[in-house]
Amino acid sequence: MYIKWIVLCYLILFQSFFVYMNLKTKKKTGLPIKGENKEVKIAMILGGIIFTVVLISLFITNCYDVFIPLPFLHRGLLAILGCILLLISLIIGIISARELGNSWRVGILEDQETELVQTKIYKFCRNPYFLSYFIMFLAFFLIIPRIVLLLLVIASILYFHYMVKNEEKYLEKIHGARYIDYCKRVGRYLPRFNRND
């Protein structure tokens, strides 16, 4: 009963913070912060489709069968785990976006060189904001186990990973050896634990 309102509040908070970061960074830097490339557009479309499927599944009860439910996964504990993951996703997303500060960008902007942020959460993970999306997608599937949503989640994670790899090539081109060294020390999505440290 309350889960649909938790998900709705999450979506409002997550998207509001995204818009806030865009507006704040654009105002502070006076520069465009969103890349006008197809990768950004496709990612936004995929995210929008997932959000739409989630909202329809939760709030339009006569659409229950449309997205092909997986009844054996409809367990209260999985939905609660999904809600916990949404909270973790929100915390990681906000912390990582705030830590980027003026380096916040949506996609690659070839004509801009931003600072290489390696502090706080970025000491442990090179792409925590993308990680927050992956956690969010998994949470949505646990809360609303549907085949259509599972396929969208898999496609989105694979596509976002492709975007991350392109962004990392760009960062290596811009920051050179500093970025290569950073990649050796810090994992792409999860912390790297070096036993020699």
What does the domain layout of the chain look like in residue ranges? 3-185
What's the CA gap between 54 and 49, in Å, rounded?
Answer: 9
What's the CA gap between 161 and 6, in Å, rounded?
Answer: 27
33 Cβ contact list (under 8 Å, min separation 6)? 22, 25, 26, 104, 105, 106, 109
According to the model, what pLDDT value does residue 64 have?
Answer: 63
Q: Are 50 and 153 in contact (CB under 8 A)?
A: yes
SS3 category, 183: helix
pTM score: 0.89
CATH of domain 3-185: 1.20.120.1630
Which residues of the chain fall short of a pLDDT of 70?
1, 64, 193-197
According to the model, what pLDDT value does residue 193 have?
Answer: 65
**What is the token pair recorded at 51?**
């959000």
User: Which of 2, 11, 3 lies closest to 144, judged by CA?
Assistant: 3
What's the CA gap between 74 and 84, in Å, rounded?
Answer: 16
User: Which of 159, 33, 139, 153 lies closest to 93, judged by CA?
Assistant: 139
According to the model, what pLDDT value does residue 195 have?
Answer: 42
Residue 67 vs residues 54, 114, 133, 137: alpha-carbon distances, Å? 10, 41, 21, 16
According to the model, what pLDDT value does residue 159 have?
Answer: 94
How many other C-beta atoms are found inside a 10 Å radius of the C-beta of residue 61? 7
Percentage of residues in the chain having pLDDT higher than 70: 96
